Amino acid sequence: MTVRPGFLQGAVWKSGPFATLGRMALGRLVQALLVALVIGIISFVMMEALPGDAAYRIAAGRYGYDMLTGTAAEQVRIELGLDRPAWQRVADWVGHILVMDLGRSAVNGDPVSHALSHQLGHSVMLAVGALFFALIIAVPTGTIAGLRPGGAFDRILGGLTVLLRALPAFLLGIILMLFFAVQLGILPAAGHGHGSHLLLPSLTLGIVLAAVLSRVVRNAVAETVASESFQFARHKGLSMATALRRHGARNAAVPVVAYLGVQAALLVEGVVVVESIFAWPGIGHALTHAIFERDVPMLQGTALMLGLGFVLLSFAVEVICLALDPRRRA
Amino acid sequence: MTLVPSANQKIVITPHLMEKKMRVFAQTMIGVGAVTVALLGSTPASLAQGRTDVVVAAPWHVNGMDPASDGYTFQRMEVAETLVDAGPDGALRPGLATEWQVGDDGLVWRFRLRDGVQFHDGTVLNAEVAVASLNRAVTQPGILQNLPISEIAADGDTVVIQLSQKFAALPATLANYTALILAPASFDQDGKVISMIGTGPFKVAKIKPPSSLSLTRFDGYWGEAAHVEAARYISTSRAETRALMAESGDADLVFTLDPAGYSRLSLLEQVEVKAVPIPRTIVLKLNLAHPALKEVEARQALSLAIDRDGIAAGILRFPDAAASQLFPPVLADWHDPALPPLSYDPDTAREKLAALGWASGDDGILVRDGTRFALTLRTFPNRPELPLIAAALQDQWRQVGVELDVSVGNFSEIPAGHQDGTLDVALYARNYGLTPDPIVNAAEDFGAGGADWGAMNWDAPDVAAALSKALADSDPAVRGPAINLAVEAIQRDLPVFPIAWYMHTVAYPDALQGVVIDPLERDYELSKLRWAE
């Protein structure tokens, strides 16, 4: 195989978009490693700091209250070595994580990675579905409102946004269930296993996301339309639609994408509630139960996945912004 | 007019590229839309006509496959079975063992196994396999661990259990879910359960912990085969969701409804609801070593201050659920209709407390020797009515001058507080039907030294002796008086306060036939279900 001379020293790697991308990727990789370590240790310390005896909590998670006794708790303490010093248990976890082993759940003894692959998959499906609904609701409505800021549509949308954002996700979920599953009977109320089960929880989360997103789209569009460059495009005779497509969409998209990245935090908060109301087996559900049951390996695993998810998401947002905005590629 | 930031320049230069991107975006959107429509159009299995499956929704997780922790789900879903079975009335009947008897000394029990029983993997059930399963079960936390078993061995087609002391309730204990019999391939070398291979009419198709369990009919079942071909269990933690699933037809057998969901579903024509009394009692546990609780008159006064009828009608919405004694009428041997019922009489309660030297302080709370009558109640939210009942107790006790702090936390705080002695009072629901014969629980809860979910610092050697006697002897002439003695002593001494008896609530569609609700919560009887033509 012949390599073109100068390929590796080529200008494209030293500077230009690929170099920017490479620098970003390296930065994020370092960040991911730090995040992993910090999350693992912090979640351990936080669980240690909680009041109550971990052996009792774990035994409670395993055997339920009909069978939980002091004897069961002592058996769990011995089995899991909970009486060892905390530093030994942290060192254990770090040692395992170095060989990519997340350990076993304290409650059911299954490998954490096994549970996570199942639950993370469900949560990603839910997040993608929510994002899809958020975009198809927020982008058209926000754009129409942004074209006429202060107009009737803008005001109605503003009111709706406040109303929907003030509505707790679980209430919205129940309203949607009542309407689509009970009244119309076209969608299943809750559960998983069939594609249609994804629609209501995604729609619930999507609406919550869309509420604020539509305002961001509206502001971005309004700002773009008011900009001199856009006015110039209109003056040179382009129709509104063409001007928006050629001179508006890309400009307006940058803040919207950046905002969506920030919204991921909201998505996690919503996921916990929405997963529980729709009996959806995702990572939010796993996280809350890991905390209740003091399942430290499971908590560390879920928190790690969420942390790495954030790093990945920030990276994706940066890459998309880079693609959208050539000024950033310098 | 200033012009041309570089970003716009770029767009202006490549309008075709931009249009192409827009087109790709539009096509993607149309594609995603089409998938959505397809998803909407195809009806999920649970809405289809001509059903051959049933879907169960209940609040409990499927954490794993170990009988010690999750056996109840596999027993209820008819995946695995025990040597001894029990009917809805609690009467023992043959399970994987067809008959059993105890030797004259009361120490050697022989359980003869059923012929021709196959596990889901084709292995044949024999005594060695059953012995291996039981030998593992007795090492796990649970009620089997406390049995006086010295050896479990195989003898031909018989499982022989050698006891170190008499224990007449052994067959009833072996009906518990922790004693499920699994195939040898269910365990790894360390005894960890790696797959759930039982002998029941349904076999496991898929387990997705903690949320669901899918089963298919097992055609090699020794008994009558199931009518439905498949069954699914969905762990649904929220009561609101379960009620909506019953209403929309997404679940067929929905267990444990909240009062609001129950009344709403009972108005619907296509959904049937049932409330069955079960041997589970909402109990207030008291630390009898606490200075304010050690006098029996004080406990009687606190009990008289509780409006049980109000709690049953207002919070549980079942007026008959108010507990007049600890054991509900469904436990016929343990419920004594002649016992004077626990009543509500706050005036008498105040008089009794005054007679003990408690006098009202500045803030209306009773004081004696400079100490306020203040207690902390521990309870937990897993059963949503418990915190509400705790709040009602707080208010009702305040009326007689007793301050009650309510601490809602994890239920493990109750046994932990029992063990370290920091507990004042605790509110929980105790299942006296864990084994078909309540003696096993009763002897543990009210026997010598009390128990995590029973009496605390109650000094009643006569009760402990009577319960041991009832535990050892199955002769009704011995058991009857012993049980009566214990039941009367509990009602008189009040080591725990019964508050309400539980109702097990279920909803199912009209078209589902053969629904039997087992008050012992051992069996959902799925194999008997069939859909109306």
pLDDT band at B10 (very low <50, low <70, confident <90, very high): very low
The number of folded domains in chain B is 3
Euclidean distance between CA atoms B111 and B166, whole angstroms: 16
| Tokens read off for A174 | 């129940």
CB atoms within 10 A of CB A49: 7
Euclidean distance between CA atoms B73 and B198, whole angstroms: 13
First to last CA, chain A: 33
> Is residue B500 over pLDDT 90?
yes
> Is residue A5 over pLDDT 50?
no
> Is residue B95 over pLDDT 90?
yes
Task: Please answer whether residues A59 and A73 qualify as being in contact, where contact means their C-beta atoms are separated by less than 8 angstroms.
Answer: yes
Q: How close A140 comes to chain B (CA, Å)? A: 13
CB < 8 Å to B192, chain A? 109
Q: How close B413 comes to chain A (CA, Å)? A: 7
User: Closest partner residue to B2 among A76, A181, A228, by Cβ?
Assistant: A228
Interface of A with B in 93-132 (CB under 8 A): 107-110, 115, 118, 132
Give the pLDDT confidence score for residue A241 in this predicted structure: 82
Closest residue in A to B146 (Cα) is A71
Euclidean distance between CA atoms A191 and A221, whole angstroms: 39
Residues B340 and B487 in one domain: yes
Note whether residue B522 is domain-resident: yes
pLDDT band at B15 (very low <50, low <70, confident <90, very high): very low
pLDDT band at A17 (very low <50, low <70, confident <90, very high): low
Residues B94 and B72 in one domain: no
CB atoms within 10 A of CB B138: 16
CB < 8 Å to A118, chain B? 208
User: pLDDT higher for B441 or A328?
Assistant: B441
Task: Please answer whether residues B523 and B72 qualify as being in contact, where contact means their C-beta atoms are separated by less than 8 angstroms.
Answer: no
CB < 8 Å to A57, chain B? 410, 412
CB atoms within 10 A of CB B332: 12
Residues B425 and B296 in one domain: yes
> Is residue B46 over pLDDT 70?
no
pLDDT band at A3 (very low <50, low <70, confident <90, very high): very low
User: Closest partner residue to A276 among B12, B44, B237, by Cβ?
Assistant: B237
* Residue B168 three-state SS: coil
CB < 8 Å to A181, chain B? 244, 247-248, 250
Interface of A with B in 8-37 (CB under 8 A): none
Closest residue in B to A181 (Cα) is B248
Residues B243 and B289 in one domain: no
Euclidean distance between CA atoms A308 and A325, whole angstroms: 25
Average pLDDT over residues B62-77: 92
Task: Count how many Cα atoms sit within 13 Å of the Cα of residue B336 in the half-sphere of its side chain.
Answer: 17
- CATH number, domain of B232, equals 3.40.190.10
Give the pLDDT confidence score for residue B33 in this predicted structure: 52
> Is residue A47 over pLDDT 60?
yes
Give the pLDDT confidence score for residue B5 in this predicted structure: 40
High-pLDDT (> 70) share of chain B, %: 91
Query: Is the four-CA dihedral B22, B26, B31, B32 of positive or negative sign?
Result: positive
Distances (CA, A) of A47 to A65, A78, A240, B142, B262: 21, 19, 57, 27, 38
Residues A180-202: tens digit of each pLDDT: 988 888 888 888 877 788 899 99
Residues B345 and B431 in one domain: yes
Query: Is the four-CA dihedral B409, B415, B416, B418 of positive or negative sign?
Result: positive
Cβ-defined contact of A65 to B411 (cutoff 8 Å): yes
Interface of A with B in 151-210 (CB under 8 A): 174, 177-178, 181-182, 185-199
Burial A296-315 (b: 16+ CB within 10 A, else e): bbbbbbbbbbbbbbbbebbb
Interface of A with B in 291-320 (CB under 8 A): 292
Residues B333 and B425 in one domain: yes
Give the pLDDT confidence score for residue B32 in this predicted structure: 52
Query: Is the four-CA dihedral B274, B275, B279, B282 of positive or negative sign?
Result: positive
CB < 8 Å to B34, chain A? none
Average pLDDT over residues B108-137: 96
Instruction: List the Cα angle A228/A231/A237 in 5-degree steps.
Output: 145
Mutate to test the interface with A, among B211, B419, B444 (most CBs of A within 10 A): B211
pLDDT band at A110 (very low <50, low <70, confident <90, very high): confident
For helices A283-292 and A112-147, angle between their N-to-C axes, nearest 10 degrees: 130
CB < 8 Å to A229, chain B? 3-5, 8
Give the pLDDT confidence score for residue B1 in this predicted structure: 38
High-pLDDT (> 90) share of chain A, %: 11
Note whether residue B154 is domain-resident: yes
Cβ-defined contact of A190 to B244 (cutoff 8 Å): yes
Cβ-defined contact of A277 to B241 (cutoff 8 Å): yes
CB < 8 Å to A194, chain B? 44-45
Give the pLDDT confidence score for residue B525 in this predicted structure: 93
Q: How close B62 comes to chain A (CA, Å)? A: 10
Residue B97 burial (C-beta neighbours within 10 Å; 0-12, 13-18, 19+): buried
Q: Which residues contact B290 (CB under 8 A, 6 or more apart)?
A: B375, B424
Cβ-defined contact of A132 to B32 (cutoff 8 Å): yes
CA torsion, ordered B131, B133, B135, B137, to nearest 10 deg: -150
Residues A25-40: tens digit of each pLDDT: 888 888 888 888 888 8
Residues B330 and B478 in one domain: yes
- CATH number, domain of B476, equals 3.10.105.10
Average pLDDT over residues B340-356: 96
Average pLDDT over residues B360-367: 93
Residues A119-155: tens digit of each pLDDT: 888 888 888 899 899 999 999 999 899 888 888 999 9
* Residue B336 three-state SS: coil
Give the pLDDT confidence score for residue B435 in this predicted structure: 86
> Is residue B21 over pLDDT 50?
no
> Is residue B48 over pLDDT 50?
no
Give the pLDDT confidence score for residue A232 in this predicted structure: 85
Mean pLDDT of chain A: 83
Give the pLDDT confidence score for residue A109 in this predicted structure: 81
Euclidean distance between CA atoms B128 and A183, whole angstroms: 56
Note whether residue B26 is domain-resident: no
Note whether residue B478 is domain-resident: yes
| Tokens read off for A235 | 């003056």
User: Closest partner residue to B244 among A71, A181, A196, by Cβ?
Assistant: A181
User: Closest partner residue to A185 among B1, B64, B248, by Cβ?
Assistant: B248
Residues B204-243: tens digit of each pLDDT: 999 988 889 999 999 999 999 999 999 999 998 888 899 9
Average pLDDT over residues B98-115: 95
Give the pLDDT confidence score for residue B24 in this predicted structure: 52
* Ramachandran angles phi, psi of B279, nearest 5°: -75, 50
User: pLDDT higher for B384 or B370?
Assistant: B370
DSSP conformational letter for B334? T
Mutate to test the interface with B, among A47, A50, A68, A131 (most CBs of B within 10 A): A68
Average pLDDT over residues B367-387: 91
Last residue of a domain, one of B139, B160, B186: B186
Instruction: List the Cα angle A152/A157/A158 in 5-degree steps.
Output: 100
CB < 8 Å to A130, chain B? none
Query: A–B: how many Cβ contacts below 8 A?
Result: 205
- CATH number, domain of B117, equals 3.90.76.10
Distances (CA, A) of A95 to A29, A89, A98, A228, B413: 20, 10, 5, 58, 32
Task: Please answer whether residues B65 and B513 qualify as being in contact, where contact means their C-beta atoms are separated by less than 8 angstroms.
Answer: no
Closest residue in A to B28 (Cα) is A132
DSSP conformational letter for B519? T
> Is residue B7 over pLDDT 50?
no
Task: Count how many Cα atoms sit within 13 Å of the Cα of residue B51 in the half-sphere of its side chain.
Answer: 25
Note whether residue B108 is domain-resident: yes
Residues A226-244: tens digit of each pLDDT: 888 888 888 888 888 888 8
CB < 8 Å to B252, chain A? none
pLDDT band at B4 (very low <50, low <70, confident <90, very high): very low
Note whether residue B235 is domain-resident: yes
Closest residue in A to B4 (Cα) is A229
Distances (CA, A) of B327 to B37, B143, B278, B386, B431: 55, 20, 10, 19, 10
Residue closest to B47 by CA, chosen among A196, A168, A82, A135: A196
Task: Count how many Cα atoms sit within 13 Å of the Cα of residue B385 in the half-sphere of its side chain.
Answer: 23
- Assess A289–B contact: CB distance below 8 Å, yes or no: yes
First to last CA, chain B: 79
Interface of A with B in 227-286 (CB under 8 A): 228-229, 232, 245-247, 249-251, 276-281, 285-286
> pTM surpassing 0.80?
yes
Residues B168 and B100 in one domain: yes
CB < 8 Å to A245, chain B? 18-19, 22
> Is residue A54 over pLDDT 90?
no
Last residue of a domain, one of B154, B186, B218: B186
Note whether residue B42 is domain-resident: no
CB < 8 Å to B240, chain A? 174, 277
Euclidean distance between CA atoms B236 and B255, whole angstroms: 10
Residue with tokens 């940058």: A254
DSSP conformational letter for B234? E
Euclidean distance between CA atoms A321 and A297, whole angstroms: 36
Cβ-defined contact of B15 to A246 (cutoff 8 Å): yes
CA torsion, ordered B400, B401, B402, B408, to nearest 10 deg: 90
User: Closest partner residue to B452 among A70, A115, A249, by Cβ?
Assistant: A70
Residues B279-309: tens digit of each pLDDT: 999 999 999 999 999 999 999 999 999 999 9
Q: B512: part of which helix (H) or strand (E)?
A: strand B512-513
Closest residue in A to B1 (Cα) is A228
Give the pLDDT confidence score for residue A45 in this predicted structure: 85
Q: How close B12 comes to chain A (CA, Å)? A: 7
Cβ-defined contact of A68 to B412 (cutoff 8 Å): yes
pLDDT band at B49 (very low <50, low <70, confident <90, very high): low
* Residue B57 three-state SS: strand
Residues B406 and B483 in one domain: yes
Residues A244-279: tens digit of each pLDDT: 887 778 888 888 888 888 777 667 767 888 888 888
Q: How close A3 comes to chain B (CA, Å)? A: 31
- Assess A328–B contact: CB distance below 8 Å, yes or no: no
Closest residue in A to B68 (Cα) is A63
Cβ-defined contact of B434 to A66 (cutoff 8 Å): yes
Euclidean distance between CA atoms B70 and A244, whole angstroms: 59
Strand-by-strand arrangement of the B374-379 sheet: B202-208, B212-217, B230-235, B53-58, B253-255, B496-509, B271-286, B425-431, B374-379, B403-408
Task: Please answer whether residues B336 and B498 qualify as being in contact, where contact means their C-beta atoms are separated by less than 8 angstroms.
Answer: no
Average pLDDT over residues B53-75: 92
Cβ-defined contact of B248 to A182 (cutoff 8 Å): yes
Rg (CA), chain B: 28
Mutate to test the interface with A, among B22, B241, B379, B412 (most CBs of A within 10 A): B412
Closest residue in A to B247 (Cα) is A182
Average pLDDT over residues A62-70: 82
Task: Please answer whether residues A44 and A89 qualify as being in contact, where contact means their C-beta atoms are separated by less than 8 angstroms.
Answer: yes
Note whether residue B191 is domain-resident: no
User: Closest partner residue to A60 among B2, B57, B410, by Cβ?
Assistant: B410
Cβ-defined contact of B211 to A192 (cutoff 8 Å): yes
Instruction: List the Cα angle B211/B186/B179 in 5-degree steps.
Output: 80
Last residue of a domain, one of B138, B164, B186: B186
Task: Please answer whether residues A19 and A330 qualify as being in contact, where contact means their C-beta atoms are separated by less than 8 angstroms.
Answer: no
Range of the domain at B338: 282-503
Closest residue in A to B250 (Cα) is A188
Residues B370 and B414 in one domain: yes
Residue closest to B260 by CA, chosen among B313, B310, B312, B317: B317
CB < 8 Å to A136, chain B? 29
Give the pLDDT confidence score for residue B31 in this predicted structure: 55
> Is residue B41 over pLDDT 70?
no
Residue closest to A285 by CA, chosen among A120, A164, A130: A120
Comparing A17-26, B16-25, B232-241, the range with the smallest average pLDDT is: B16-25
Residues B257 and B365 in one domain: no
Residues B436 and B527 in one domain: no
CB < 8 Å to B10, chain A? 326
